[in-house]
Amino acid sequence: MNKMDISVVIPLYNEEESLPELVHWIDKVMNENKFSHEIVLIDDGSNDNSWKVIEDLKEKYSSIHGIMFRRNYGKAAALQVGFQASKGEVIITMDADLQDNPEEIPELYKMIVEEGYDLVSGWKKVRKDPLFSKNIPSKFYNFTVRKITRIKLHDMNCGLKAYRRLVVKSIEVYGDMHRFIPVLAKWAGFKKIGEKVVQHQERKYGKTKFGLERFIRGPLDLLSVMFISKFGKRPMHLFGLLGTLMFLLGFAASIYLGIKKLIAVSNGVIMERVTENPLFFIGLTAMLLGTMLFLTGFLGELISRTASERNYYQIDKEI
């Protein structure tokens, strides 16, 4: 069976107007560069005529592979299913709203195949989005993620990305984790991550599908990624350490109050009861919280030990 050069994975929701133009544009670029390819369109439960458009396009373009969800699951779920279905050696993801330019595909492919990148993320250096609702929040978000993850990308959430096949087959995208695929790839062992400045275009049809809730979900998802990546298989290392430290601090406060009281009594000095000192309740609370954190880590460790994937490790090479 001949290898396929490129799979273009496109999640979509209510994009009936843009699909014909987008597919024609992608097909034109692929034919000009003589790439063997497929276009994987994942309809994420659209309530317009997007699926009918995909069916019509399938009759015209043999490269179309359409998948329809019964309901709207979100972009991450659509990408995960698209990754599973893709057959190309290089996987390109892009949005369906025509804001990503298919003319970028050949250069992204070259960076993966010839320059050896595992993942290349697009950088919309000049954005065609509203300044206050998207541009400024995006810059702040990307700055924060760069500092936390140490992945030097200017546009972590750009929909236009290229992946080596092994990358998308080695990660699991769920929830709203599509924003952090480079982080997931890094923690899966793929370290050569780069970026390319790409042309960003104004939305031609419809309206954006993302609201203000992304500002709440984004930071929470980042914390989830960091925790699962570092402590998913060893929760005791985090909760056990925090619990032990907190318990010891509370215990030290209690010992201090007890010794202070004994010294005062032995010297005949009258002082308040230990239980009347606020430090006593702070120390007691710290010991209780420390015990709870330790038990959380212990239970997490038990769950991890009995999980079906406890000994699942991704092997890169074997001879």
pLDDT (tens place) for every residue of the chain, 319 residues total: 578 999 999 999 999 999 999 999 999 999 999 999 999 999 999 999 999 999 999 999 999 999 999 999 989 999 999 999 999 999 999 999 999 999 999 999 999 999 999 999 999 888 766 555 566 777 777 787 777 778 888 888 889 999 999 999 999 888 778 888 998 898 888 989 999 999 887 777 766 655 556 666 666 766 776 676 667 667 888 888 899 999 999 999 999 998 988 888 888 888 788 888 889 899 999 999 999 999 998 888 787 767 555 545 454 544 3
Q: List Cα–Cα distances, 245 to 9, 109, 173, 234, 317, in angstroms.
A: 47, 50, 34, 18, 41
Q: List Cα–Cα distances, 287 to 238, 250, 254, in angstroms.
A: 17, 5, 10
Determine the Cα–Cα distance for residues 165 and 169; give it in Å rounded to an integer. 7
| CB of 90 closer than 8 Å to CB of 38 | no
Residue 205, SS3 per DSSP: coil
Instruction: Look at the block and give the residue holding tokens 């400024």.
Output: 136
CA atoms within 13 A on the CB side of 85: 21
From start to end of 175-261, where are the E strands?
193-197
Determine the Cα–Cα distance for residues 237 and 124; give it in Å rounded to an integer. 39
> What letter would DSSP give residue 132?
I
